[in-house]
Amino acid sequence: MSRPMRRASLSLMPLGLMLMTGGCMGTGQPQLETRHQPVVGRTDYALDLAVSGGRLAADEDRRLDGWAHNLRLGYGDRVTVEDPAGDAPGAYREVAEVVGRYGLLIGQTSGITRSPVAPDTIRIVVTRARASVPGCPDASSDAAPADWSGQTASNHGCAVNGNLAAMVANPNDLVRGVDGPATADPAMGSRAVNALRAAAPTGNGGTALRNASAGGGGASASGGGAQ
């Protein structure tokens, strides 16, 4: 009676070992390519302006300028003008002048359907993109049991891609990239290196040592020891 029971217990050992090992599996990432990637979202801001005689109505340009200032309009934003009636060419030029103060140009109107524009009104639309990395920081692997499979940490990639999403000037570049110039000027590429080489060395001697007892006064000696 003892032998069959002993064999049964021995046959259950590999299964128990696998269950124990499975319990030690962490919640990291099995590959070096992180699953925490930047995600680009888009937000549209719209402002309706009254027009009169094909131009902006009185003080509408000031209202547009204040709106753009509050939005912190700048590089990476896309500005379009919606004028379905096409009766305000002068207003279009006035809007372009205000937007030009922020270093931007008027772009082509997108085909996105919005609410109808009222008569004698044009609509200014600012499209802004923002990049973020959802799910970061991810410390789930820190609280998990020991990892015996050699996976990377669950937070792997959060720092690099989070900084990239925060620092990129135009988040749309993360989606479609930027085409390089058709031609390249070698002088432009080497200008920074040439400026560094042409600069006078800062360690040519004559460094003044400040006398601590002088109470922040002038320098005491140059090239020699402090007096």
Structural domain total, the chain: 1
| CATH value at residue 51 | 3.30.1330.60
The answer to whether residue 194 is domain-embedded is: no
**34 Cβ contact partners less than 8 Å away, ≥ 6 residues apart:** 152, 156, 157, 158, 160, 161
Residues 116-142: what's their mean pLDDT? Answer: 89
pLDDT band for 139, please (50, 70, 90 cuts).
confident
Q: Tell me which of 225 and 58 has the higher pLDDT.
A: 58
The answer to whether residue 134 is domain-embedded is: no
The answer to whether residue 78 is domain-embedded is: yes
Specify the pLDDT at position 69: 95
**Are 171 and 76 within 8 A, CB to CB?**
yes
Specify the pLDDT at position 215: 54
Number of neighbouring beta carbons within 10 Å of residue 38: 18
The answer to whether residue 226 is domain-embedded is: no
pLDDT for 225 beyond 70 = no
The answer to whether residue 96 is domain-embedded is: yes
Specify the pLDDT at position 103: 92
The answer to whether residue 82 is domain-embedded is: yes
**10 Cβ contact partners less than 8 Å away, ≥ 6 residues apart:** none
Q: Which domain holds residue 117?
A: 42-128
Q: pTM for this structure?
A: 0.59
Taking the C-alpha atoms of residue 25 and residue 27, their distance in angstroms, rounded to an integer, is 7
Q: At which residue do the structure tokens 């390089």 appear?
A: 180
Angle CA 167–170–171, to nearest 5: 80
Of 4-13, 85-94, 105-114, 122-131, the poorest mean pLDDT is in 4-13
Of 47-56, 103-112, 129-138, the poorest mean pLDDT is in 103-112
The answer to whether residue 28 is domain-embedded is: no
